[in-house]
């Protein structure tokens, strides 16, 4: 006796030389097992994932199969499994590699955890996406508009734009020096290359003496102090900048770490080239009852700073969550600013989202 196996739509047909024909609906196949030269197909119906309601078993000797021809029972089994995969109408969950995986259940119901998209980004589960949380403060806002950063005054975008390349790292204190200093000894610069790509490097400080960066920069988005002496924090203001450095202070200040903070507090940021930033929310606050306004500006490449959001504050805080995130193209500069009715107000601004 010989046997021909035909892969039809939704079922497998077994045609025997005796004239007998058997059609097996692929969704009813419960198992295919192998023993020696024989392959066993068990089929029927199930009332759930494990309990069959009646079943039948067909035994196939691989050498009896004349079409298609299989060199071994193992290959016959693999061929049958491939037919089932091709024809099955069952719904399957497939991972990014094309492999089916099961769904865990509780009392017959799928067990599902619906994690917010932004949580998955923060956990690193979404390839090519990076979470962003940017925060800054200005402890003494005046009656003219100032950037929200510890240095005070408006950020010198023109000075930064004019000098892409090597930057210097220095401190206003001689105690911020590598190896022997009681203050900060090393810090890491986070910024953008001259082509707008993200990059970072760690620099050993030399007090008020400027230390050149190894990499070239077009923007510095953040500084973090890594190691320190017995003081456990920066003794002076840490500066990254360009131009002549006098007593640790560069002519053009790109980024600063206020005394004792160990990290920048600057509500400015530039979107990396080739990336898109999605801002999901921003928060503002003030410690003053004098009345203040916070303005958030974006500057797309080649354009002017344009106001995109603002808030009025009076001894208060405010958070705005965007139902539709604000979308910023690569190269866009962000500058959060404040202005007061009178001097002396402290203002904080944070914004968050992700870029991809």
Residue 141 lies in a domain: no
Cα separation, 30 vs 46, whole angstroms: 8
pLDDT on residue 42:
83
| Whole-number pLDDT of residue 13 | 86
Asked whether residue 241 falls in the same domain as residue 323, the answer is: no
| 161 and 234 fall within a common domain | yes
For residue 64, give the nearest of 76, 51, 79 by alpha carbon. Answer: 76
In this predicted structure, what is the pLDDT of residue 313? Answer: 93
* Residues 214 and 285 placed together within one structural domain of the fold: no
DSSP 108-125: TEE------HHHHHHTT-
Domain check: are 11 and 81 in the same one?
yes
Flag the least confident range among 19-28, 49-58, 284-293. Answer: 49-58
Residue count of the chain, please give it: 356
- Predicted local distance difference test score (pLDDT) of residue 31: 80
- Give a yes or no: residue 115 inside a domain: no
Judge whether 125 lies within some domain.
no
Among 263, 284, 313, the domain-final residue is 263
Q: Is residue 54 part of a domain?
A: yes
For the chain, the straight-line distance linking the first and the last C-alpha, in angstroms and rounded, comes to 63
So what's the pLDDT on residue 108?
A: 64
Q: Are residues 232 and 315 in the same domain?
A: no
Query: Are 162 and 241 members of one domain?
Result: yes
Q: Please, what is the average pLDDT of the chain?
A: 90
For residue 11, the model assigns a pLDDT of 78
Q: Domain for residue 177, yes or no?
A: yes
- The percent of residues above 70 in pLDDT, for the chain, comes to 88
Task: Give the CA angle between residues 30, 36, 40 to the nearest 5°.
Answer: 20
Q: Please write the tens of the pLDDT for every residue from 169-220.
A: 999 999 999 999 999 999 999 999 999 999 999 999 999 999 999 999 999 9
Is 274 found in the same domain as 320?
A: yes
The least confident of 15-29, 47-61, 123-137, 186-200 is 47-61
Q: What is the pLDDT of residue 102?
A: 65
The residue-averaged pLDDT of 146-166 equals 97
pTM > 0.75: yes or no:
no
- Please tell me the predicted confidence (pLDDT) of residue 64: 86
Number of separate domains in the chain: 3
Which long-range CB contacts under 8 A does 124-132 form with residues at least 24 apart?
Answer: 128/356, 129/354, 129/355, 129/356, 130/354, 130/355, 130/356, 131/352, 131/353, 131/354, 132/269, 132/277, 132/351, 132/352, 132/353, 132/354, 132/355
Q: Are residues 252 and 284 in the same domain?
A: no
Report how far residue 87's alpha carbon sits from residue 283's, in angstroms, rounded to the nearest whole number.
54
Could you tell me the CATH number of the domain that includes residue 71?
2.30.29
Residues 230 and 292 in one domain: no
250 and 277 fall within a common domain: no
Q: Do 13 and 6 form a contact (C-beta atoms < 8 A)?
A: yes
Q: Are residues 246 and 280 in the same domain?
A: no
Q: Which domain holds residue 76?
A: 3-90
CATH of the domain at 343: 2.60.120.230
Q: Are residues 312 and 351 in the same domain?
A: yes
Confidence band (pLDDT; 50, 70, 90) for 99? Answer: low
Please say which residue of 263, 296, 329 terminates a domain. Answer: 263
In a domain, 99, yes or no: no
Whether residue 6 is predicted with pLDDT greater than 90 in this model: the reply is no
Question: Within a domain: residue 245?
Answer: yes
End-of-domain residue from the set 32, 61, 90: 90
Is 48's pLDDT higher than 60? no
338: nearest Cα among 299, 305, 306, 312: 312
- The confidence band for 346, taking pLDDT boundaries of 50, 70 and 90, is very high
Q: Is residue 150 part of a domain?
A: no
Residues 6+ apart with CB under 8 A from 163: 242, 243, 252
């Amino acid at each position: 006796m010989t046997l021909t196996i035909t892969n039809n739509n939704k079922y497998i047909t077994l045609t025997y030389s005796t004239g007998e024909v058997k059609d097996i609906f692929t969704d009813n196949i419960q198992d295919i097992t192998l023993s020696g030269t024989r392959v066993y197909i068990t089929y029927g119906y199930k009332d759930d994932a494990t309990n069959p309601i009646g079943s039948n078993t067909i035994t196939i000797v691989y050498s009896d199969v004349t079409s298609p021809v299989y060199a071994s029972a193992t290959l016959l089994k693999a061929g049958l499994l491939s037919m089932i995969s091709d024809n099955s109408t069952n719904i399957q969950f497939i991972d990014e590699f094309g492999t089916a995986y099961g769904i865990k259940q509780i009392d017959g119901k799928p067990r599902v955890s619906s994690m917010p998209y932004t949580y998955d980004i923060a956990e690193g589960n979404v390839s090519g996406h990076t979470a962003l949380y940017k925060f800054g403060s200005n402890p003494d806002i005046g009656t003219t508009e100032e950037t929200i950063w510890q240095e005070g005054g408006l950020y010198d975008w023109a000075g930064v734009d004019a000098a892409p390349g090597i930057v210097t790292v220095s401190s206003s204190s001689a105690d911020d020096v590598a190896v022997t200093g009681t203050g900060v000894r090393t810090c890491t610069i986070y910024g953008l290359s001259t082509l707008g790509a993200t990059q970072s490097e760690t620099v050993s400080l030399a007090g008020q003496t400027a230390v050149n960066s190894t990499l070239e920069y077009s923007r510095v988005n953040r500084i973090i102090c890594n190691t320190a002496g017995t003081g456990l924090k920066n003794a002076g203001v840490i500066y990254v900048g360009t131009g002549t450095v006098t007593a640790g202070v560069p002519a053009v200040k790109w980024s600063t770490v206020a005394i004792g903070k160990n990290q920048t507090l600057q509500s400015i940021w530039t979107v990396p080239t080739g990336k898109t930033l999605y801002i999901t929310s921003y928060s503002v606050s003030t410690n003053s009852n004098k009345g203040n306004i916070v303005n958030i500006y974006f500057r797309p490449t080649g354009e002017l700073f344009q106001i995109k959001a603002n808030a009025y504050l009076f001894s208060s805080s405010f958070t705005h969550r965007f139902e539709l995130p604000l979308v910023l193209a690569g190269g866009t500069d962000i500058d959060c600013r404040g202005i007061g009715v009178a001097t002396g107000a402290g203002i904080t601004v944070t914004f968050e989202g992700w870029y991809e």
